[in-house]
Chains A and B, each alone.
Chain A
Amino acid sequence: MKHTLVALVEDKPGVLNRVASLFRRRSFNIESLTVGHTHEPNVSRMTIVVDTELTAPHLVEANLLKLVNVIDVHDVSNAPTVMRDLALIKVQADAGSRAEIAQLADIFRAKIVDVAPDSVMVEVTGDEDKIDGLVELLRPRGIIEMVRTGQVAMVRGAVSANGNGNGNGQ
């Protein structure tokens, strides 16, 4: 099973290194890790996906909370959550096959964002399964390169990960 943790961290030099070093040192097996800004200045947000077969999510959470630069951690696995991953996929395509790829992309609500004589670039957003699905369909046509951002997650409804535990202590 997969667990998704959302961590709010201080946007300071070295913080990603501290988190990565923790995962390495504790032999935590992390499926994906993404970092980005939030609406608050100086606060970054990490989405961490853990395979529970290999790594106990409660230990990831408890260890993250020991890092001084970590503001808060939530395990959102049991909450109704929107999860998104973005991929750019460059596929071999000539004039003959371009239309077919465009059609496929359409079904996945993906976009063609670049066209070259021998290739097209597809941009797709969605949950992991959806992107995996499109990748599998494109693979036989010859994927030249691909990049995925890794997953980001947000709980539905008017709750905020930033809402809790973000006060200044003692």
Chain B
Amino acid sequence: MAQLTGAQIIWESLVKEGVEVIFGYPGGAILPTYDAMLDYPIHHVLTRHEQGATHAADGYARASGKVGAVIVTSGPGATNTVTGLATAMLDSSPIVCITGQVGSSVLGSDAFQEVDVTGITLPITKHNYLVTRADDIARTIHEAFYIAKSGRPGPVLVDITKDAQNAKTEFVYPTQVEMHKRHEHLLSESQLKRAAEMIDQAERPVILAGHGVLISGAMRQLRDLAEKTQTPVALTLLGIGVFPREHPLCLGMMGMHGEAYANRAVQAADLVIGIGMRFDDRVTGNLKTYSPHSKKIHIEIDRSEIAKNVHVDLPLVGDAAGVMDQLIPLVSAQQRHNWIEQIDEWADDTRARDILKRDASGKLLPPHVIGDLWQATGGDAIVVSDVGQNQMWEAQYYRHSAPRSLITSGGLGTMGFALPAAMGVKFARPEAEVWVVAGDGGFQMTAAELQTIQQESLKINIAILNNGFLGMVRQWQEFFYQRRYAATPITSPDFVKLADAHGIAGIRVTKREDVIPAIQTARDHPGSMLIDFRVESEESVYPMVPAGADLHAMIRRPVEAS
């Protein structure tokens, strides 16, 4: 059997795992592996910062459902991945991150560019490994990919010492993963029957669908369950896309910036069915007053999420699709006219306040930009949003109908996520129309990746909602800190010139009537294009449930104001 170096084994293993593209940045401790890379059919994307590499791999994973791959050097290269790993961890996104490490003989000696990366990333990875022998590389990488994508997915880090990369050994790729089997909690007939009874008997049920539905691929089951039992569906931010926004039973997003009528429905419900979601504080508001009249069924693969935040009357632990497959035949078909009409009545109020119907009287309002983007793209784009107001407006006004069509950092809320993540999205779905929606603040955090886009000749459209503020923080200051705008006014470079400097086309839009033409120009342009939307600077996201407040205590957009 031929002897391979550890470095070669890393690439052999990645090829075996089906990796086609890897995002990374070289350096001393990973040099042997970079040297070996040239002999393997994996495309390496040199991002401009290791954080960008992790977000790109994350975007790739979220857009494809496959595992994203990252490779970086030790020390500062490794610490730069921390934000990206934490982002992937909080959003259950499967990535495998390979970090170079100093030689095993000097481990623990504070050698040049040595950092205890397995220690640092312990709480922000699903699992991590320190590999000091070439013999262990293949098995570890195989396990890492398995762990990243199985059960509730998440990031896995593999730290490999330089001597392990250099050492030679036989390469045998494992065909099995040797892991401890968990005793499966099979759902009992009686649990499922009880769930069906609860659903049958409910008068005001609501389904809360989250990212778990997407991960499980349970979109059809969700639809069947909702339609058969005529149960309205509210979505978490990461659940957007698992149930079509235009479906008559879709209530849109719930929670802090959710639809007011969705939140009202949750508060008035007598049964809440959480599916692949975790009752996050952004979704529940004050737990003490959260959906006070409802019984709760929780369909969730991660047992540690059951009864973590809210009391659950009936947990159904398992994969969302599998659980619903068993449940759907047991529930009876229902009509719930009263309940649905009631919610629709509440929605009237939202329609009355809808800013899209208002004349902006010459101002460029961010919701209008998003609404126009939705129209101009026919709702068919993949939108990668950043964090802040832009993210919430995107979630509210881009009416997503397809799974994986919104990619955003939910749990960690990582500013600077969108641009690098969009690169991964484009690699995963080259045929798709990809749009970045970002604020002027977040965009500047990772704007250096414009050059990566250029180097890779990617076609990505970028919409910056440029309001001259760290808008979401400014909004909190407006509402809760007497408009004391501490450190939220922010200047920006001329984004059009910045794009130009990177070899990317840019245009500026200041008027509503120019929005759709600009979007069309970007769509028709063969290369990437950036649009600097100079939007109203002090517009706020409505409705808003203040942090920790009751879900029904929403700050609404004034009816009269324009």
Interfacial residues, chain A to chain B (CB-CB below 8 A): 14, 17-18, 21, 25, 56, 58-59, 62-63, 65-68, 70-72, 164-170
Closest chain A CB from B157 CB (angstroms) = 12
Highest count of chain B CB atoms <10 Å: which of A56, A167, A170:
A170
> Are B304 and A165 closer than 8 Å at their CB atoms?
no
Which of A62, A71, A170 is in CB contact (< 8 Å) with B303? A62
Report B185 CB to chain A, min CB distance, Å. Answer: 10
Q: Which residues of A sit under 8 angstroms from B308, Cβ to Cβ? A: 59
A18 with B179: CB separation less than 8 A = no
Using Cβ atoms and an 8 Å threshold, which residues of chain A touch B118?
14
A59 to B123, CA, bound (A): 16
* B180 near A164: Cβ-Cβ < 8 Å: no
Nearest A residue to B308, CB-CB: A59
In the A-B complex, list the 8 residue pairs whose CB atoms are closest, starting with the nearest: A62-B304, A169-B181, A62-B303, A68-B127, A169-B179, A63-B304, A71-B180, A25-B123
Partner of A68, one of B179, B304, B307: B179
Does A168 contact B183, Cβ atoms closer than 8 Å? no
Q: Once bound together, how far apart are the Cα atoms of A58 and B305, in whole Å?
A: 10
Task: Report whether A170 and B177 are in contact in the complex, using a CB–CB cutoff of 8 Å.
Answer: yes
Is B147 engaged at the interface, CB distance under 8 Å to the other chain?
yes
Q: Which residue of B is nearest A64, CB measured?
A: B304
Query: Given the complex, which residues of A lie within 8 Å of B178, measured CB to CB?
Result: 168-169
The answer, among A17, A21, A67, A165, for a CB contact under 8 Å with B181, is A165
- Please name 18 pairs of A and B residues whose Cβ atoms are closer than 8 Å in the assembled complex, sorted by A: A18-B122, A21-B123, A25-B123, A58-B303, A59-B308, A62-B306, A65-B304, A67-B127, A68-B126, A68-B147, A70-B180, A71-B180, A72-B183, A165-B180, A166-B180, A168-B180, A168-B181, A169-B179
Residue B176 lies at the interface, judged by CB distance under 8 Å to chain A: yes
Q: Which residues of A contact B303 (CB under 8 A)?
A: 58, 62, 65
Minimal Cβ-Cβ distance residue in B for A18: B122
- Give the residue name and chain of the B residue nearest to A8 (CB): B180
Contact of A56 among B126, B181, B307 (CB under 8 A): B307
Q: Which residue of A lies closest to B317 (CB)?
A: A62
Partner of A165, one of B119, B123, B130, B182: B182
In whole angstroms, how far apart are the Cα atoms of A166 and B119 in the complex? 27
- Return the chain A residue nearest B183 by Cβ: A165
Cβ-defined partner of B179 (8 Å) among A17, A59, A170? A170
Q: B176's contact among A56, A72, A170, by CB below 8 Å, is which?
A: A170
Determine the chain B residues whose CB is within 8 A of the CB of A63 once the complex forms: 304
Chain A residue numbers with a CB within 8 Å of B307 are 56, 58-59
Query: Which parts of B162-191 form the interface with A (CB within 8 Å)?
Result: 176-183
Name the B residues within 8 Å of A71 (CB-CB): 180
**B136 at the A/B interface (Cβ < 8 Å)?**
no
Distance A63 CA – B179 CA, assembled complex (angstroms): 17
Q: Is B200 part of the contact surface with A, judged by Cβ < 8 Å? A: no
Q: Looking across the interface, which residue of chain B has its beta carbon closest to that of A63?
A: B304
Give Cα A155–Cα B182 distance, bound, in whole angstroms: 21
Interface residues of B in 439-491 (CB under 8 A from A): none
In the assembled complex, the CB of B152 is this many whole angstroms from the nearest CB of chain A, namely 8
Residues of the B chain whose Cβ atoms lie less than 8 Å from the Cβ of A62:
302-304, 306
Cα distance, A165 to B183, chains bound together (Å)? 6
A19–B180 Cα distance when bound, in Å, is: 17
Note all chain A residues with C-beta closer than 8 A to B119: 17
What distance in Å separates the Cβ of B153 from its nearest Cβ neighbour in chain A? 12
The minimal Cβ–Cβ distance linking A69 to chain B, given in whole angstroms, is 8
Alpha-carbon gap, A126 to B198, bound state (A): 48
- The answer to whether B302 touches A169 (Cβ under 8 A) is no
Question: What CA separation (Å) do A72 and B179 show in the bound complex?
Answer: 12
Most buried by A among B178, B180, B308: B180
- Asked if residues B182 and A65 are in contact (CB atoms below 8 Å), the reply is yes
Closest to B305 in A: A62
Determine how close the nearest CB of chain A comes to the CB of B399; give it in whole angstroms: 36
The distance from the CB of A144 to the nearest CB of chain B, in whole angstroms, is: 36
In the complex, A44 Cα to B1 Cα: how many Å?
Answer: 37
User: What 13 additional pairs, Cβ within 8 angstroms, besides A59-B304, A168-B181?
Assistant: A21-B123, A62-B303, A65-B182, A66-B126, A66-B302, A66-B304, A70-B180, A72-B183, A165-B182, A166-B180, A167-B180, A169-B177, A170-B179
A164 → B minimal CB distance (Å): 6
Give A58's nearest chain B residue, CB to CB: B307
Which residues of chain A are within 8 angstroms of B182 by Cβ–Cβ distance?
A: 65, 165
Scan residues 137-172 of chain B and give those whose CB is less than 8 A from a CB of chain A: 147
Question: How near does chain B come to A74, taking the closest CB pair, in angstroms?
Answer: 11
Please, which residues of chain B bring their CB within 8 A of the CB of A58?
A: 303, 306-307
Q: For residues 239 through 253 of chain B, which have their beta carbon under 8 Å from a beta carbon of chain A?
A: none
Q: Are A164 and B183 in contact (CB under 8 A)?
A: yes
Q: Which residue of B lies closest to A25 (CB)?
A: B123
Least CB distance from B391 to A in Å reads 26
The answer for the CA separation of A26 and B14 in the assembled complex, in Å, is 33
Chain B 100-130 interface mask (CB, 8 Å, partner A; 1/0): 0000000000000000001100110011001
Which chain A residues border B147 with CB–CB below 8 Å?
68
Residues of B within 8 A of A59 (CB): 304, 307-308
Report the bound CA distance from A145 to B294 in whole Å: 55
Whether A167 touches B304, Cβ cut-off 8 Å, given contacts A17-B122, A18-B122, A21-B123, is no
A residues less than 8 Å from B122 (CB atoms):
17-18, 21
* Shortest Cβ gap from A168 to chain B (Å): 5
B101 to chain A, nearest CB (A): 14
Closest Cβ neighbor of B304 among chain A residues? A62
Please report the C-alpha to C-alpha distance between residue A168 and residue B302 in the assembled complex, in whole angstroms: 21
- Cβ contacts under 8 Å, B127 to chain A: 67-68
A34 to chain B, nearest CB (A): 21
Residues of B close to A17: CB separation below 8 A: 119, 122
Min Cβ gap A123→B in Å is: 36
Closest to B123 in A: A25
B182 CB, nearest partner CB in chain A, Å? 6
- The CA-CA distance from A17 to B122 in the complex, in Å, is 9
Q: A17-B122, A21-B123, A25-B123 are in contact. Are A168 and B179 (CB under 8 A)?
A: yes
How distant is A7 from chain B, measured CB to nearest CB, in Å? 12
Residue of B nearest to A66 (CB): B304
Report the minimal beta-carbon distance from B432 to chain A, rounded to whole angstroms: 33
CB distance from B503 to the nearest CB of A (A): 44
Residues of B contacting A167 in the complex (Cβ-Cβ under 8 angstroms): 180-181
